[in-house]
């Protein structure tokens, strides 16, 4: 019976050819897909901030155990995890509860991820939901074949108990994703306000959101200089620690000023000199030139290993005329120089 069916199919194909596939559907299936997942209170605040700055090119997923907080944020998808365990009231500062609630919601989380090519994962280390759930979600995304990039906030020095939990959570996340970009609240200092005017979002939320948006849009959209996903995957697979540096300067001060401002503002207390990889991104206005961008990248390369792999991108945005913003993520920083990260 099967042979007769196969023979009928073979004859039909020979006479009529294979059915044509809809080009639009093929393009949709092959489209590079990016998801951004925020876990816990700080993570979903970043997701909300991404919507406020109207980021494009990615789907956002907010994951939390606190129903009230989750209902307040904007996201493409909102997932309340651990309904039977946390009762929608949060994880009570317990990473173990955060981990268990993520495991309990595995089906919903995997369905929401839906095999992305690139997954940005953001959370605040030191609490319950974000610290415990982030490594679980990262493993799910990695198992689906995604490049996973973690950007996490680190507690203030006075939050002693949170620091202990943060260190353990960071180690668990690092085992899954490799280098994790850590942004220390203590490093914000006077350069950014503690709160955004009129809104209950921290400056750290906005900094992480803007960094993710800049990288994402430079990969998925036509920009001045695009970043290749394959290069990004290679860069973020390096051993060691990662650190982000950021700076902003007036165009009139020159490219060197922008680079020096960036180098003087590492977002984690670590010696990044001699890093073996770097992702450098420059944002400017319509007056941003390729020559200026190259000069900024060249200045930053002086601090890297002579054989470091450097990928860089640039975009223009309205409102940036006359100034430039530089974000650099240094990877492959040796563990010996990372020893200062333990508090």
Residue 249, pLDDT above cutoff 90: no
Separation between Cα atoms, residue 41 and residue 210, nearest integer Å: 18
**Residue 191 has what pLDDT?**
53
Tokens of 65: 């155990």
Separation between Cα atoms, residue 178 and residue 15, nearest integer Å: 53
Separation between Cα atoms, residue 138 and residue 304, nearest integer Å: 29
Same domain, 64 and 211: yes
Query: Domain containing 57 — which CATH number?
Result: 3.40.50.1440
Residue 228 lies in a domain: no
Same domain, 49 and 197: yes
> How many domains in the chain?
2
Among candidate residues 216, 251, 270, the one where a domain is terminated: 216
* pTM of the model as a whole: 0.82
Same domain, 93 and 173: yes
Please indicate whether residue 22 or residue 89 has the higher confidence score (pLDDT): 89
Backbone angles phi, psi at 28, to 5 degrees: -65, -40
Tokens of 5: 């069916």
Residue 226 lies in a domain: no
Q: Which stretch of 106-110, 150-154, 269-273 has the lowest confidence by average pLDDT?
A: 269-273
Same domain, 86 and 201: yes
Q: Is 300:272 a contact under the CB 8 Å cutoff?
A: no
Residue 232 lies in a domain: no
Please indicate whether residue 196 or residue 150 has the higher confidence score (pLDDT): 150
User: pLDDT tens digits, residue range 22-68?
Assistant: 444 444 446 789 999 999 999 999 999 999 988 888 999 999 999 99
Same domain, 197 and 100: yes
Separation between Cα atoms, residue 224 and residue 245, nearest integer Å: 21
- How many C-beta neighbours within 10 Å does residue 176 have? 20
Helical (H) or strand (E) element with 3: helix 2-16
Residue 300 sits in which domain range? 238-341
Same domain, 78 and 148: yes
Same domain, 252 and 292: yes
Same domain, 180 and 286: no
Q: What percent of the chain has pLDDT over 90?
A: 39
């Amino acid at each position: 019976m099967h042979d007769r069916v196969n023979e009928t199919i073979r004859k039909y194909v020979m006479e009529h050819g294979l059915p044509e596939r809809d080009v639009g559907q093929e393009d949709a299936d092959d489209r590079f897909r990016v998801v951004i997942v925020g876990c816990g209170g700080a993570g979903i605040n970043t997701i909300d901030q991404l919507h406020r700055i109207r980021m494009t090119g990615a789907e956002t997923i907010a994951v939390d155990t606190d129903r009230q907080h989750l209902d307040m944020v904007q996201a493409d998808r909102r997932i309340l995890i651990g309904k039977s365990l946390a009762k929608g009231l949060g994880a009570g500062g317990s990473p173990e509860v955060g981990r268990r609630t993520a495991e309990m919601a595995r089906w919903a989380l995997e369905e929401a991820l839906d095999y992305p090519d690139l997954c940005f994962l953001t959370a605040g280390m030191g609490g319950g939901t974000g610290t415990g759930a982030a490594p679980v979600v990262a493993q799910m995304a990695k198992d689906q074949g995604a490049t996973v990039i973690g950007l996490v906030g680190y507690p203030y020095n006075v939050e002693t108990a949170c620091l202990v939990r943060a260190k353990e959570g960071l180690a668990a996340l690092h085992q899954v994703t490799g280098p994790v970009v850590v942004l220390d609240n203590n490093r914000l200092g006077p350069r950014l306000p503690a709160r955004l005017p009129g809104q209950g979002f921290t400056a750290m939320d906005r900094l992480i959101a803007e960094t993710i948006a800049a990288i994402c849009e430079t990969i998925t959209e036509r920009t001045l200089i695009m970043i290749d996903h394959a290069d990004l995957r290679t860069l973020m697979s390096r051993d060691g620690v990662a650190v982000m540096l950021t700076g902003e300067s007036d165009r009139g001060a020159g490219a060197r000023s922008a680079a020096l401002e960036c180098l003087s503002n590492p977002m984690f207390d670590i010696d990044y000199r001699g890093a073996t990889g770097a992702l450098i991104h420059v944002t400017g206005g319509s007056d941003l030139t390729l020559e200026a961008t190259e000069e900024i990248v060249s200045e930053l390369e002086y601090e890297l290993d002579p054989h470091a792999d450097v990928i860089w991108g640039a975009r223009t945005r309205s409102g940036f005329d006359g100034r430039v913003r530089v974000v650099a993520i240094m990877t492959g920083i040796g563990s010996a120089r990372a020893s200062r990260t333990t508090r």
